[in-house]
Amino acid sequence: MGLEEYRRSVSESKRASILRAARAAFLKDGFSRAAVAEIANMADVSTATLYKHFDSKEELFAAVAKDAAMSVGDYSHLLDPDTAPRDAFLTLSRAYLATQFENHVNDLMRIIIAEVPSHPELAREMMDLIVGRRHRSLQNVLDRLVAQGMLRPHDTTLSAKLASGMIKELFVWPALFNADFRLPEDTEAKIDMAANVFLARYGIDTTGQGMTG
């Protein structure tokens, strides 16, 4: 049993090492250009061992993608139950961008998008994990704010999308087309503008007083 356990732990550490190497390789070269042999090399494992853990290059990529998608979490806990709408918008936007830019999520998205035609199920699954999870997280917050009377009653599924659409356009979309794109200095100011737009429509203070731009 001790032996068995030892073996399992070794096996798992190899699996993790392969995943790490694969992630790095895919991020660097994309799916097609990344070489299995090099991944095995970087993971200090033989190709045969790699294939013991993952049936094919595609499965390996799927595992990498899922792994990464898992790291994109739920943001609700960042907020106090009585955080005001503007603060909620700002906080969630910051958290969104942080995970997006710090965990190479932009780069992974690029690869997943590339694989959409050949691996539609994987892509949809990833889309659900990465995009859907964050969407639901945001919607929960909005629902809470509506319930607390801090936002006008409205279709929060839609409004959540509009909100994240504005943020994405400003920061994610450029990053998708330019691997060197970094968050600009005026990120905060821009988020604030987006908040203004959002609150002009959904906030309860329709005069828009207190707007910063």
Partner DNA sequence: CATGAATGAGTATTCATTCAT
Partner DNA sequence: AATGAATGAATACTCATTCAT
Q: Which residues bind a copy of itself (CB under 8 A)?
A: 27-33, 107, 110-114, 116-118, 120, 123-124, 126-127, 131, 154-155, 158-159, 161-162, 164-170, 173-174, 176-180, 190, 193-194, 196-198, 200-202, 206-208, 213
**Toward DNA, which CB reaches closer, 57 or 119?**
57
Closest CA to 164 of 80, 100, 83: 100
Which residues neighbour 201 within 8 Å (Cβ) at sequence distance 6 or greater? 152, 159
Binding at 155: pick from DNA, a copy of itself, none (beta carbon under 5-8 Å per type)? a copy of itself
User: Which residues of the shown chain bind DNA in the complex (CB under 7 A)?
Assistant: 2-3, 6-7, 10-11, 14, 33-38, 44-49, 51-53, 55-58
Binding at 129: pick from a copy of itself, DNA, none (beta carbon under 5-8 Å per type)? none
Please, what sign has the CA dihedral across residues 104, 106, 111, 113? positive
Q: How far apart are the first and last CA of the chain?
A: 66
* Cβ contact 70:154 at 8 Å: no
**Toward DNA, which CB reaches closer, 3 or 153?**
3
- Cβ neighbours around 104 below 10 Å, total: 16
**Toward a copy of itself, which CB reaches closer, 83 or 164?**
164
Report, in Å, the least distance between residue 157 CB and a copy of itself. Answer: 10
| Distances in whole angstroms, Cα of residue 106 to Cα of each of 47, 102, 114, 153 | 28, 9, 12, 33
**Toward a copy of itself, which CB reaches closer, 10 or 179?**
179
